[in-house]
Amino acid sequence: MLGRIDRDARNRFRRRSSVVVLVVVLVLAGAGLWYRHWKAEKGPSEPMCLALTSQDVQPLLGKPKNASPFPTSAPYDSYASWICAVYGDSQTLFIQVTSQADEVLLNYKVPGVPVVETIMSQRGGVSRDVPGTSAKVISWVQGGEAHAGWFDGQSAATIATWDTDNDQEAAAYTDTLADLVTRRAPQLFSTTGYPPSSTPTPTP
């Protein structure tokens, strides 16, 4: 009789232990799903790519989903550039900062011609002055994508769309990109360590 009672007690203990384990597993699984959903809803931490906010990128790609620097970026290397991307549902922004524009921004220029000259004479670039600096902010359409860049001597900070693939649609983004570059390039220069020829004032 005592042995049977002991077996019954052990069985009840095992059943209760199994129920507790199952509850713990379900709670942890639920917490994991909640965290992933919360993180997806929250979006990437700010500032994205060292300088951008959700408000900055929303007109261009909607709600940002992710942001990450390229692993090959190498700040402080005189012939390198810092590169980062912000991803939305159907659009991506590509950010590049360098202190050697004519050596690095080869996709924007033709051999033997400075990058700014190429953009203005062969890419249909539209230029605006930046008050208080010697810089120019230039916007243009190339390869079906919108581009804008802050150029000051050999220092440059450019932002471009990646997934438009249509010149006419891209043209609608150029003014917004130019405004964004004007607003955020000073912070990008300061944070990446690629200072421009003249010192711009960061925009809050």
Same domain assignment for residues 74 and 28: no
**Rounded CA Rg of the chain:** 26
Strands 66-69 and 81-87, by their bridges, are antiparallel
Query: Cis omega before residue 196 (within 30°)?
Result: no
* 59-88: pLDDT as tens digits: 999 999 999 887 554 444 445 789 999 999
Residues 124 and 70 in one domain: yes
Tell me the residue range of the domain where 115 lies: 54-192
Task: Looking at the structure, tell me whether residues 3 and 104 fall in a common domain.
Answer: no
Whether residue 91 sits in one domain with residue 1: no
* Residue 48 in domain: no
The residue written with tokens 């202190």 in the block is 99
User: What residue type is 143 in one-letter code?
Assistant: G
141 plus 178 within the same structural domain = yes
Beta bridge partners of 129: 136
User: Which tens digit of pLDDT belongs to each residue from 84-130?
Assistant: 999 999 899 999 999 999 999 999 999 999 999 999 999 999 999 99
